[in-house]
Structures are given as C-alpha cells and as structure tokens.
C-alpha cells in the first residue's frame, strides 16, 4: 500500500494517474476520430455552406 506522501490530492499514485491519463487520451482520440468522420460524411451528403 502506498503511504500518504505518495498520493496526490486526487488520491492516485503517479503510476495510476499516468494509466488513467493514457486511457482518457485513447478515448479522446477515438471520439475525435469518429466526430471528424461523421462531420466529413455529413458535409459530403449535405454541405452546410
């Protein structure tokens, strides 16, 4: 178990915070990719300008 000195204000250790960050960034990249593809497909189907 980690001591209190190893934890940040979130209660996560540095390793846990880095793992959470990598999972979050993977989800962000996936969401952004799907959003860009959806916008391009919609623009090809019905241009909005």
pLDDT in tens, 1-49: 556 667 788 899 999 999 999 999 999 999 999 999 999 999 999 999 8
Give residue 25's pLDDT. 99
Tell me whether residue 4 is in a domain: no
Tell me whether residue 36 is in a domain: yes
Tell me whether residue 49 is in a domain: no
Tell me whether residue 6 is in a domain: no
Tell me whether residue 21 is in a domain: yes
Give residue 21's pLDDT. 98
Rounded CA separation 7/15 (Å): 10
* Domains contained in the chain, number: 1
Ranges of beta strands (E only) in the chain are none
- Other beta carbons within 10 Å of 11: 10
CB distance 14 to 5 below 8 Å: no
Give residue 10's pLDDT. 87
Tell me whether residue 5 is in a domain: no
Tell me whether residue 39 is in a domain: yes
Whose structure tokens read 């959003």?
Answer: 35
Range of the domain at 27: 12-43
Query: DSSP state, 38?
Result: H
CB distance 10 to 17 below 8 Å: yes
């Amino acid at each position: 178990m980690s001591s209190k000195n190893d934890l940040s204000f979130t209660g996560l250790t540095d390793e846990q915070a880095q793992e959470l960050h990598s999972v979050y960034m993977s989800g962000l990249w996936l969401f952004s990719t799907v959003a860009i593809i959806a916008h391009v497909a919609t623009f090809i189907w019905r241009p909005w300008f």
